[in-house]
Structure 1
Amino acid sequence: MKKLPLIAAMLLAFSLPAQAEFPKNWYLEGVGDFLDGDILSTAIEADGSLSLGFDIRPVVNLPRGVILDAESNGHQLLVGTANPAAVYQVDLKQGSGYQVKNLLQRSQGVISAVLPEKGGTVLAALSPFGQIYRIGGQKSELIHSMDERYIWEMQTGPQGEVYILTGDSGSLYRLGSDQKLTRLYQSGEANLKVLHQDSHWGLLLGSGSKGIVYRHQSGKTQALLHTPFSEITALTGDGKGNVFVAATSATPEKNGPKSAVYFIDKQGRSDMIFRMSSETAFTLEMDKAGSLLIGTGPRGRIYRFSDPLSPEKRILSLPARSQSRQLVKLLQGPGEDILLVGSSPAQIESYQGNYLNKGIYETQIFSSNLTSQWGSLHFDAVLPPETEIKAWSRSGNTADPDNTWSEWSGPYSRPQGNQINSPEGKYLQFRFELSSRNRKQTPYLHSFDISYLRENLPPYLKDVYFLQRGIYFKPHTLAKVEGPRTIELNPDVLDKLRRPRGTEEIYQELMAQKAAGPMRLLQEYRPGMLSLAWDVDDPNEDELRYEVWYQPYGQKGWKKLAQDLQENVFSFDTATLMDGSYHFRVFAHDQLSNSGPSFKVFKDSQLITVDNTAPSISNLEASIEEKQIRLRFSAKDSTSPLAYAEYSLNGQKTALFQSKDGIVDGLEEQFEFTLAKPGKGQHFVVVRIVDRLGNVQTAKKTFEIQ
């Protein structure tokens, strides 16, 4: 007879071709979800909706170089660069055509700080040489060569003095009107990087390696804020005691933010108000409306906090994105404009209050993990007059879009539902186009969702095995828990409850109402019990049911032992089976989770012996000799080899003994052993034989010593 392998798996599919599990949904809403996509020319509003981006217009592209610092006096912008080390002046007056003038250029080093002075002259710092130049008219003059190599920041004080932050010794200097340099404070770290003047706190200094904000006032310096980051990148505020701090670390802690923004109030209380995991806040600026603007890299994003001084009213939005990957400075420009100074590429832009006519947003790549058929796209949007939202989709089977992906399909423009035309695949992406014919109006995309149907794949039974003999499980709780439901509230729980339920969740809830409820099992022990267990995976995470069958070794047919099992373990009393060897077969099917065709798979166990019959003992004899007692007997088991033998004289402690051939390991064994001759009187000896499955047989022999 031809048999299947002992460990075998066969796929049993229903007659129809495999289709899919129950439909699922992909849902996106709010800041957290939209930030995962690519905000090309759109913005995120305070309420989390996606809108048209504000119009960012190019002012000027610098010939080349990396911008390190920039300052504005309202009508002119001064820029310090590296590669080359140069100072540029950009004329911001209307009608000037944004003319660029090169004020200073050096063959070595970088211009690390610039400062316009009241008389129209300009100070420029050349690092790593620690040199300060004054530029006026067509001339430049070296006015100081410091003992420091790096000059990071220069600001004019209320009396016309200049405050300077340096690297090497991490010091604060004062340059007086008499051109005399005085060191006011040495921090003990390598660099002090940023400076902010405040009437309440005095001079605020941001460190470059310890993440500390120092306050220097009346000749004394104290730490005002110690962040867990290494570098303070920006300081700003209202000048009256309310301060905002940007901090970052080049190597953030595992699972920790890369950068963050803090708020310090007039009482010195601080709070982290914004954290970023993949971006760095490089610059901060407050606009004329009192909002806080945050410029970042490497995506060149501008975030905005409205009412930043009020924790109750403070709301974050993402209004615009620069063409530069890194924003170096945000500065107040002419009128209501905010100037964006960026690197990569080095350019100046103007952030204004009008919306773009068109904006593009591309979603993150959605993975269904399995080949899927795409359903409909629904989106929740507000469409004022003269505005419109369209969407396109594309799909593929690689995690990153390449030339194997489909072309963009669409457009989809009906919020109430659009059939997605992209071909089946494992990955899907959408591109939304927001447009307006009115520069003062924008459409708003609040959320969108799609339905999809994944290909149904069969369960996979990895292993079928037996637990230790005698161990078994019995149900402990079968009924569903009735009554009010109690939960421990936390942000994750609340976030899940705020989202609309998908079709899969509704289906699972209906199935749960029909189900018997969760089953708890008790582990117990009883000789003769056997537990069969199995490891199973399902790519679709379907709800599975199981059957157990058995086959006596050497026979053809299979007999059903159990069906409709929910757990991946089955216990039974082997007394219901005849002694012998058996294969067991476990079936798993996913019919409950699939509205269409489903799969049924099986896997066989290794051969196992069932033996509930004790060994037999025959011809037990006790011969009395001069100094000893000689015992002889035979033992036999029809199914399992014998395991060990022991005896007890007159009920004393038992002792092991071996068979005549030296090892107790056969189905039949002969035994002969001697005992020391006891004293006069009647005595008895008990022998016990145990087979490998724990079945026990005993026999007793009585004898008398004269």
Structure 2
Amino acid sequence: MLLATGTPALFGSGTAVWEMNSYLDFIRGRFEGVSLSRDGRLSLAPKLDTVFSSDQPVIWSVVQAPDGNLYAATGHRGRVYRIDPAGKSSLVWTADQPEVFALAVDRAGALYAGTSPDGAVYRIENGKATEYFAPKTKYIWTLAAASDGVLYVGTGDQGRIFRVESAGKGELYYDTAQSHVTGLAVDMQGRLLAGTEPNGLLYRITAKDKAFVLYDSTLPEIRAIAPLPDGTVYAAALGGSIAKRAQSAQQALQNLGTGGVVTSGTTTTITVEAQQTGPGPDVKPPDPAKQAQQAAASATQVTTQFSPVTDTSGVEKSAVYRINPDNTVETLWTSKEEDVYDLLASDKQILFSTDESGRIYGLSPDRRVTLLLQTNEAETTRLLPSRNSVLAATGNMGRIFRLGETPGASGFYDAPVHDAGTAARWGSLSWRADLPAGAALQFRTRSGNSAKPDRTWSEWSEPLTNANGSRIPSPNARYIEWKAELKGANGATPLITGVTLAYLPQNLPPVIKSINVISQTAATAQTAKTSTSSGSSAFSVTVTDTDSAATSSGTPTQAVARASTDQISVTWQAEDPDGDRLVYALYFRGDDENQWKLLKGDLHENSLSFDANVLADGKYHFRVTATDRESNPPAAARDAELVSAPVLIDNTPPAITVGTVRYAQGTAHIEFSAADAASALRHCEYSLDAAGWVPLEAADGVIDSLRESFSLDLNNLSPGEHLVVLRAADSANNIGLAKVLLK
């Protein structure tokens, strides 16, 4: 028989199991110093050091000067800070406007800052700020310094890009006909890349008023752009960021009228008016769907708590794209829950940050995503390379962190709250993990009857350390949560691959969910020969009242043949966007094995069935690969793969051993045990004289182990013989039987 782990037992009154072993399972939890690989493995995250902590709610931009100094622009008091290589920070300048959304450093080390709303670009040197360029726009969202000394300024709310050669000399470079220019970058050939809002257009601008749209995103805003030397461009898109920052600026500006902001530093004003020589081409009118999304974003009040601005439940909120040198585009990652704020690209991997607890993800060239770490701030706004490491700036509390090259010393992971559906009796907690020498791993649990943990919940339990099954001490309740505490040693980290929690809920109707790996039955050869079109019983035994069947050998015993054999059916769904014909291959691997074995290749169908007995009892993974090689030249062929969740194959029924049996004066007492070699027991019943089945309870109260003990007391039995049949079922619903004759 076959069991998909993570699904309830088939018996409605049996033990239920909550199992976490995949990326999608673990990603819903809370991470503190812990990473999650795409394979669903928890380990210690890179060490996270705080480089700078401000008293401001958010760091909008951070840059590094040639001398190693960092500069951070904050909101909502318009402050710019300098952090030297030793980590010492100082306030460099406070703007008249509440927001400094953009910073840039030129090749000479001069710092530029763009203020909003209704602000200007300032050049800051030696603690003095000089107005460098006044674009006469509402917002200055982004700055980019080119290698030739030119400064590009991206603005809103008219979507214009300005080119400034020096103080007192600037011009309109390109009018996007969009509302906002939200991101700027200069590639290795000196071409300007610009992201816009609300139509999510990514431009490549090669000269004044000359541009080419590299990509038209389905999301409203291109927020971050990262060009590589080979011509590849990575871009991050999202919705709602502009509305959020604009509302923050307006709210901070209103606060100036009541509390005011003390301005420090010396400011010299040089008025430079932009010279408009004509609007750029009107690329296209705003997309109504994107306008609706922006309207929803604009209607939400934004505070420094950074609540979500756009309600996009069920639709994509953000994405990461790769635009190849030949202008083809690939979507590398999308999310319906998180907004991408920045990305950092290299040849080995792409890092990108989000607003989900300030997470930082890593995306490898084969598109495998790893949750690198979680800062547990509201959002990670910027990523910056720095001296063989990475810096991350955050919002909610404006901080700058440095990611270390080695794992941290310790960390913990809180699993998402699990709902048992009703009050439940907790069984045992078990886990699969690799534990290097000197490293430590322990678990704790807590429970309660409110959906979110609060002061009514139990305290965290004492540490659980038996990986094969630790009894859960938390009180019976509807909800439960577990925590894993990891400690490393000498740069090595524990590695958690799966956690299982067993419990006995109140008897509720069973829920059966479809899976892509299922067991099915096929008629045996003997049954196929004797089957009839009526499809009645699977077998028959004929008994006559004559002796015609008797022979000199005696009357033979007729064996009841097995009606069917078990098969495993693996099905999958796949499609090709080009309509190419796909070729599949199916592999399998045991849970304790390292290499994949080919079941069958060169498949054109999307299913395969095979005899379940060819795989011994145990947990297995199945992998399906798909390729379009039959429709494309070898060099252009593409492939994909998908690995199933763990599947438990258990063909062996439990063994029942009868112990003490006492029968006297109409009362019987039977003691017995049941054991299974492959999977935990889930249900036990008895039948008296071929009557209906009656459930039994284990001696320890929960049927959740490989071996369980039971006792049965029968009263008021009529005189004479009685037949008691004992039945035990394991996790795969294999049935073991034993009989006791009372006489």
**Residue of structure 2 in register with 1:239 after alignment:** 229
1:305 aligns with 2:305: no
Distance 1:50 1:345 in 2: 27
Select which of 455, 460, 471 maps to 2:506.
Answer: 455
2: CA distance, partners of 1:206 / 1:267: 19
Query: Aligned to 1:31, which of 16, 23, 46?
Result: 23
Amino acid at match of 2:121: I
> For residues 225 and 104 of structure 2, what CA distance do their matches in structure 1 show?
17
- Alpha carbons of structure 1 residues 264 and 120: separation in structure 2 relative to 1, 3 Å: closer
Amino acid at match of 2:417: I
1:72 is matched with 64
For the 8 Å contact 1:21–1:593, the answer to whether it is kept is no
Q: Is the 8 A contact 1:121 1:136 kept in 2?
A: yes
Q: Identical aligned pairs, as a percentage? A: 26
Paired residue for 1:258?
A: 317
Q: Is the 8 A contact 2:422 2:478 kept in 1?
A: yes
How big is the shift at 1:158?
A: 2.3
* Contact preservation (8 Å) 1:71, 1:79: yes
Q: Which has the higher strand share?
A: 1
Structure 1 partner of 2:353: 295
Question: d(CA) in 2 for partners of 1:406 and 1:418?
Answer: 18
Alignment of 1:79-228 (within 5 A): 79-92=72-85, 96=86, 98-177=87-166, 179-199=168-188, 202-219=191-208, 220-228=210-218
TM-superposed deviation, 1:479: 7.0
What are the Cα deviations for residues 336-386 of structure 1, in whole angstroms up to 9, with x where unaligned? Answer: 121111111011111111211111100001111122222222211111111
Structure 1 counterpart SS, 2:343: strand
Q: Structure 2 length as normaliser, TM-score?
A: 0.59
- Report 1:644-655 matches (<5 A): none
Q: What SS does the corresponding residue of 2:23 show, helix, strand or coil?
A: helix
Matched residue SS, 1:32: helix
Question: In structure 2, do the counterparts of structure 1 residues 432 and 388 end up closer, same or farther at CA, with 3 Å as the change threshold?
Answer: same
Say if 2:235 and 2:320, in contact at 8 Å, map to a contact too: yes
Question: SS of the counterpart of 2:26?
Answer: helix
Between the aligned partners of 2:190 and 2:97, the Cα distance in structure 1 is 38
Aligned runs of 1:58-69 on 2, under 5 Å? Answer: 58-69=50-61
CA contact under 8 A between 1:20 and 1:455: conserved in structure 2? no
Aligned to 1:40: 32
1:119 Cα deviation from its structure 2 partner: 3.1
187 and 508 in structure 1: CA distance in 2 versus 1, 3 angstrom threshold:
farther
How far off its partner does 1:45 sit?
2.7
Q: Who is 1:329 aligned against?
A: 382
Question: How many Å apart are 1:240 and its aligned residue?
Answer: 2.3
**Larger deviation, residues 27-36 vs 133-142:** 133-142
One-letter amino acid of the structure 1 residue matched with residue 353 of structure 2: G
Report the AA paired with residue 375 of structure 2.
Answer: S
Q: Secondary structure at the match of 1:33?
A: helix
In the alignment, the residues of structure 1 paired with residue 53 and residue 26 of structure 2 have an alpha-carbon distance, to the nearest angstrom, of: 30
Distance of aligned partners of 1:451 and 1:501 in 2 relative to their CA distance in 1, 3 Å threshold:
farther
Cα displacement (A) at 1:314: 3.5
CA displacement at 1:490 relative to structure 2: 2.5
Contact kept? 2:312, 2:336, Cα under 8 Å: no
Match of 2:329 among 270, 280, 294: 270
- Checking the alignment, whether the CA contact within 8 Å between 1:123 and 1:134 is kept in structure 2 is yes
Query: 2: distance between equivalents of 1:101 and 1:346?
Result: 14
Structure 1 gaps of 5+ residues are 1-18, 460-474, 511-541, 543-563, 565-588, 598-706
CA distance in 1, matches of 2:178, 2:45: 41
How many residues are paired up? Answer: 474
Query: Does residue 397 in structure 1 map to residue 449 in structure 2?
Result: yes
Query: What residue number does 1:499 align with?
Result: 645
What is the DSSP-based 3-state SS (H/G/I as helix, E as strand, rest coil) of the residue aligned with 1:229? coil
Whole-angstrom distance in 2 between the partners of 1:384 and 1:246: 38
Q: Does residue 446 in structure 1 map to residue 505 in structure 2?
A: no
SS in structure 1 of the partner of residue 411 of structure 2: strand
Relative to structure 1, is the Cα distance of residues 169 and 21 closer, same or farther in structure 2, using a 3 angstrom cutoff? Answer: same
In the alignment, is residue 286 of structure 1 matched against residue 337 of structure 2?
A: no
2:596 equivalent in structure 1: none
Instruction: Give the counterpart of 1:316 among 369, 376, 379.
Output: 369
Q: Secondary structure at the match of 2:24?
A: helix
Letter matched to residue 302 of structure 1:
I
8 Å Cα contact 2:132-2:167 kept in structure 1? no
Q: How does 1:528-547 map to 2 (within 5 A)?
A: none
CA RMSD of aligned residues (A): 3.3
Alignment-derived partner of residue 628 in structure 2: none
Alpha-carbon offset, residue 486 of structure 1? 6.2
CA contact (8 A) 1:197 1:239 kept: no
1:520-570 CA-to-partner distances (Å, cap 9, x unmatched) read xxxxxxxxxxxxxxxxxxxxxx9xxxxxxxxxxxxxxxxxxxxx9xxxxxx
Q: Work out whether residues 135 and 162 of structure 2, in 8 Å CA contact, stay in contact via their aligned partners in 1.
A: no
How far does residue 596 in structure 1 lie from its aligned partner after superposition?
Answer: 5.2
For the residue of structure 1 that corresponds to 2:462, the secondary structure is: strand
Greater shift in the superposed pair: 176-185 or 375-384: 176-185
Q: State the 1:56 CA deviation.
A: 0.6
TM superposition shift of 1:223: 1.4
* In structure 1, distance between residues paired with 2:445 and 2:169: 66
- Does residue 635 of structure 2 align to residue 489 of structure 1? no
Displacement of 1:165:
0.8
| CA distance in 1: counterparts of 2:389 and 2:33, whole angstroms | 19
- C-alpha displacement of 1:193: 0.5
Cα distance in 2 for partners of 1:61, 1:430 equals 32
C-alpha separation in 2, matches of 1:508 and 1:451: 20
Q: Which amino acid aligns with 2:369?
A: L
User: Which ranges of structure 2 fall in alignment gaps of 5 or more residues?
Assistant: 1-10, 241-309, 511-532, 539-562, 575-605, 608-621, 624-641, 656-682, 684-689, 699-743
Cα distance, 1:156–1:451 mapped onto 2, change above 3 Å: same
Matching residue's letter, 1:227: S
In the alignment, the residues of structure 2 paired with residue 245 and residue 478 of structure 1 have an alpha-carbon distance, to the nearest angstrom, of 64
Residue 30 (structure 1) shift: 2.3
What SS does the corresponding residue of 1:87 show, helix, strand or coil? strand
CA distance in 1, matches of 2:509, 2:135: 75
Amino acid in structure 1 at the alignment position of 2:77: P
CA distance in 1, matches of 2:187, 2:83: 28
Q: Tell me which of 450, 455, 462 is aligned to 1:410.
A: 462
| Alpha-carbon contact 1:21-1:595 (below 8 Å) kept | no
Match among 415, 425, 437 for residue 373 of structure 1:
425
Partner of 1:606 in structure 2? none
Q: 2:351 corresponds to which letter in structure 1?
A: L
User: Which whole-Å CA distance do the structure 2 matches of 1:226 and 1:126 have between them?
Assistant: 29
Distance 1:422 1:502 in 2: 28
Q: Is the 8 A contact 2:133 2:167 kept in 1?
A: no
Residue 279 of structure 1 deviates from its aligned partner by 1.4
Q: For residue 414 of structure 2, what is the amino acid of its counterpart?
A: E
Shift of 1:112: 1.9
Q: Distance in 2 between matches of 1:77 and 1:410?
A: 45
Amino acid at match of 2:211: T
Aligned partner letter, 1:356: G
Q: Is the contact made by 2:97 and 2:119 (CA closer than 8 Å) also made in structure 1?
A: no
Structure 1 equivalent of residue 582 of structure 2? none
Q: Quick one: distance in 2 between partners of 1:414 and 1:53?
A: 24
Contact 1:65 1:81 in 2 (8 A): yes
TM-score w.r.t. the length of structure 1 is 0.62
